Amino acid sequence: MAKAFILDPLNDDIQKYEQALQEEFDLFLADQHNKKESEEKSNIIRRHVNHAAEFLQRELFEEALAEVVAGLTIDERNGELLALKESIQDRSRRWNEHQTMEAQNLEIQKYLVTARELLTVGKVDDAKQVITKAVQLDPHRPETLSVQSDIDAVLTQLQHSTQWEQKSQRVKTYIAQAQSFLMANMLDKALVEILSGLALDPANDDLLKLEQRVVTLHDANIASSQKKTISPEEQERLIRIHVRMAAEYLGQKDFTKALDEIAHALSVDPFNIELLKLDNETRKEQADHDLKVSQGLKLIYSGGKATG
């Protein structure tokens, strides 16, 4: 071909053949270039993949993700890089969740230790505040709920103890006042104090003895007065005593004793309109109360049958 070109360089067939050869050679060079470029890209991507895998193994998620992103700038559709990116993000999310849980567990444990220490030294209210924080972090943790139950039990015991002490102190006050009125021969006032105390503590031995003493003295006074007619002032005073005691028993929903006090008042003044009205209202309130209690028992019974 070279000789033919030298002999006749202007020959059309020779020139066409030469052109075809040149085009074929150019295609070969372009193919070689593309192969080399593709191989270089593959090598670079492989390095990013390897580096990302190493970082992932060491739980260096940000560095691993940076390698993947760098690889995707070369080939944004590379399947291996996209899968690796998803894996890194998933591992990172689970790792963060684990770290958060560990930190929370550590914080709860500190709260539990503190709550127990406060409970041991009797600082129950402070212990309650601390254990509440632990419960807010994990409402279902058995250990936390157990400590909370212990604290609540102590609080309930203290409340009951305080209420009993307050009640006991009030009863002692009624006893002291009753004794004072008794010494002054003010039997009606003494009786009011005694009955007020018995409304709080019906079995109190000191109050029952004082009541018996007042009744005895009262009967003796009546006998000595030879059944003198009761003055309007004395009637009013006796009625006030019984009405006051009736109100005390009504507040405790003890309708039987309340009606008994009203009956005593009516024995002093059988035609007192206010007393008759109070008697009627008390009986109506007792009926309403008994109806509610009866309905509540029916609900409980029907609920038990449905469960069974």
Residues 223 and 129 in one domain: no
Spatial separation of the C-alpha atoms in residues 203 and 201, rounded to whole Å: 6
Residue 50 maps to a domain: yes
Residues 178 and 236 in one domain: yes
Mean pLDDT of the chain: 81
Residue 137 maps to a domain: yes
- Tell which wins on pLDDT, 22 or 33: 22
Sequence-ordered list of residues with C-beta below 8 angstroms from that of 126, at least 6 positions apart, any chain:
118
Residues 121 and 67 in one domain: no
- Tell which wins on pLDDT, 174 or 184: 174
Residues 170 and 223 in one domain: yes
Residues 278 and 186 in one domain: yes
User: Using DSSP, how many helices (H) and how many strands (E) does the chain show?
Assistant: 11, 0
Residue 270 maps to a domain: yes
pTM (2 d.p.): 0.38
Residue range(s) defining the domain that contains residue 63? 9-90
- Token readout for 197 is 């105390």
- Token readout for 300 is 């409980």
Q: What is the pLDDT of residues 246-299, one digit of tens each?
A: 999 999 989 888 888 888 887 777 778 888 888 889 988 988 888 887 776 555
- Work out how many domains the chain is built from and give that number: 3
Residue 79 maps to a domain: yes
How much is the average pLDDT of 74-102?
Answer: 88
- Among 104-113, 166-175, 178-187, which stretch is predicted with the lowest mean pLDDT? 178-187
How much is the average pLDDT of 55-66?
Answer: 88
Residues 186 and 240 in one domain: yes
Count of other CB atoms within 10 angstroms of residue 200 = 16
**What's the pLDDT score for residue 227?**
43
| 3-state per-residue secondary structure call for 122-150 | CCHHHHHHHHHHHHHHCCCCHHHHHHHHH
Q: What is the pLDDT of residues 232-255, one digit of tens each?
A: 888 888 899 999 999 999 999 898
Please say whether the beta carbons of 68 and 48 come within 8 A.
yes
Residue 80 maps to a domain: yes
How much is the CA Rg of the chain, to the nearest whole Å? Answer: 50
**What's the pLDDT score for residue 266?**
79
| 3-state per-residue secondary structure call for 48-112 | HHHHHHHHHHCCCHHHHHHHHHHHHHHCCCCHHHHHHHHHHHHHHHHHHHHHHHHHHHHHHHHHH
Residue 297 maps to a domain: no
Residues 138 and 163 in one domain: no
Residue 36 maps to a domain: yes
At 274, the amino acid letter reads: E
Residues 166 and 264 in one domain: yes
Q: Residue 59 — φ and ψ, nearest 5°?
A: 60, 35
Residue 200 maps to a domain: yes
